């Protein structure tokens, strides 16, 4: 299942990803720090939503109370929930 998440309070504005049985792949950020946001998808590819959220939740950027990594932790959990809801309907 493909999922899009609109970020809040970060330089990136959108996170696209695929989720299949709770496993995340093909993460792409729109906007943000080019190098970092190319590396994060490589590091998290094939991890479960829970693993990603456990590692990245609460990471902050500068004076902000969030970061692109923290937003990814929120995005993967939202994708997991959406996938579970979709599976219930099927």
pLDDT in tens, 42-77: 999 999 999 999 999 999 999 999 999 999 999 999
Q: Does the pLDDT at position 90 exceed 90?
A: no
Mean pLDDT over the full length of the chain: 96
Query: Whole-model pTM?
Result: 0.95
Percent of the chain that is helix, strand, coil (3-state, to 5): 45, 25, 30
Q: How is the chain split into domains, by residue range?
A: 2-83
**Region at 21 (left for phi over 0; alpha for psi -120 to 50; beta for the rest):** left
Q: Fold for domain 2-83?
A: Sufe protein. Chain: A (3.90.1010)
């Amino acid at each position: 299942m493909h999922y899009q998440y609109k970020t809040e309070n970060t330089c990136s504005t959108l996170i696209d990803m695929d989720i299949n049985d709770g496993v995340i792949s093909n993460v792409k950020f729109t906007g943000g720090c080019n190098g970092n946001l190319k590396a994060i998808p490589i590091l998290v590819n094939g991890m479960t939503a829970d693993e990603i959220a456990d590692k990245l939740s609460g990471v902050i950027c500068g004076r902000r109370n969030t970061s692109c990594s923290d937003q990814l932790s929120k995005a993967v959990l939202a994708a997991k929930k959406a996938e579970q809801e979709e599976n219930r309907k099927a």
